[in-house]
Amino acid sequence: MEAFFDLPMGMLTKIPVEIRNTRLGLEAFDDLLIERPAHHDVYFLAFPFDSDLMVGFVGGDFAWEMSAAGEAAAVDFVIDRLVSIFGSDLRGHVGRSHMTNWGAERYVRGAYAAARPGKAKAREILTQPVGERIFFAGEHLAGPLIQTCGGARLSGEAAARQVIAALA
Ligand SMILES: Cc1cc2nc3c(=O)[nH]c(=O)nc-3n(C[C@H](O)[C@H](O)[C@H](O)COP(=O)(O)OP(=O)(O)OC[C@H]3O[C@@H](n4cnc5c(N)ncnc54)[C@H](O)[C@@H]3O)c2cc1C
């Protein structure tokens, strides 16, 4: 139980905004990081795969705040940041927009696990089964691939091998 407490879900929220008929002088997959006071930073992935999307990312406490504030507030924030750099003409190019809200998903409740400071050992503890009957798997136990889909899969395969060995 302590290991679960030490490894809570962290948050990453994506806020994609459609920008029509302009590339703002950027290339597909360009990175743009806008740093702001109080860790209210926003990172943009520009026009991935040459789509019309500027994908905003916010993380950590600010992402939880954003989720609580809701999609309209998050989209306003992202557009205001873009306008502060590219000018107010940009507003005329804005199309559809969205915010992921994994924190509100009943069975997910965040983006991926983030160990509390000094508590990374919790990951190791959870790789051990409980009473030879309960086996844990997921991105949080994926060693160097934590926080990724690939890591989650490899962790699941490792847990399956543990179960097979226990049943043999
Ligand atoms: C915004 C965002 C962007 C990301 N980008 C990337 C990326 O670019 N590349 C990458 O590799 N990874 C990315 N990730 C991380 C990746 O999505 C996760 O690491 C991965 O999905 C974790 O897999 P998992 O199987 O451990 O957990 P999950 O995918 O959360 O699977 C857990 C499953 O258990 C189910 N479940 C939970 N509780 C119960 C219950 N009580 N009963 C029954 N079922 C239950 C859930 O419904 C869910 O299906 C991103 C994550 C977020 C949130």
Please list the pLDDT of the chain residue by residue as tens digits (168 residues).
Answer: 999 999 999 999 999 999 999 999 999 999 999 999 888 999 999 999 999 999 999 999 999 999 999 999 999 999 999 999 999 999 999 999 999 989 999 999 999 999 999 999 999 999 999 998 999 999 999 999 999 999 999 999 999 999 999 999
pLDDT score at 136: 96
Question: Are residues 139 and 123 in contact, defined by beta-carbon separation less than 8 angstroms?
Answer: no
Residues whose CB falls within 8 Å of the CB of residue 121, separated by 6 or more in sequence, listed in order: 6
Q: Is 128 helix (H, G, I), strand (E, B) or coil?
A: coil
Q: Is the CB of 147 under 6 A from ligand 1?
A: yes
CA distances from 131 to 128, 156, 165, 167 (A): 9, 19, 14, 13
pLDDT score at 38: 86
Mutate which of 109, 148, 157 to test ligand 1's pocket (most atoms within 8 Å of Cβ)?
A: 148
- CATH fold for domain 9-104: Polyamine Oxidase; Chain A, domain 2 (3.90.660)
What's the CA-to-centroid distance between 108 and ligand 1, angstroms? 7
What's the CA-to-centroid distance between 157 and ligand 1, angstroms? 15
Q: Is 133 helix (H, G, I), strand (E, B) or coil?
A: coil
Q: Write out the two tokens for 7.
A: 């490894």
Q: Is the CB of 107 under 6 A from ligand 1?
A: yes
Neighbours of 153 (CB within 10 A): 15
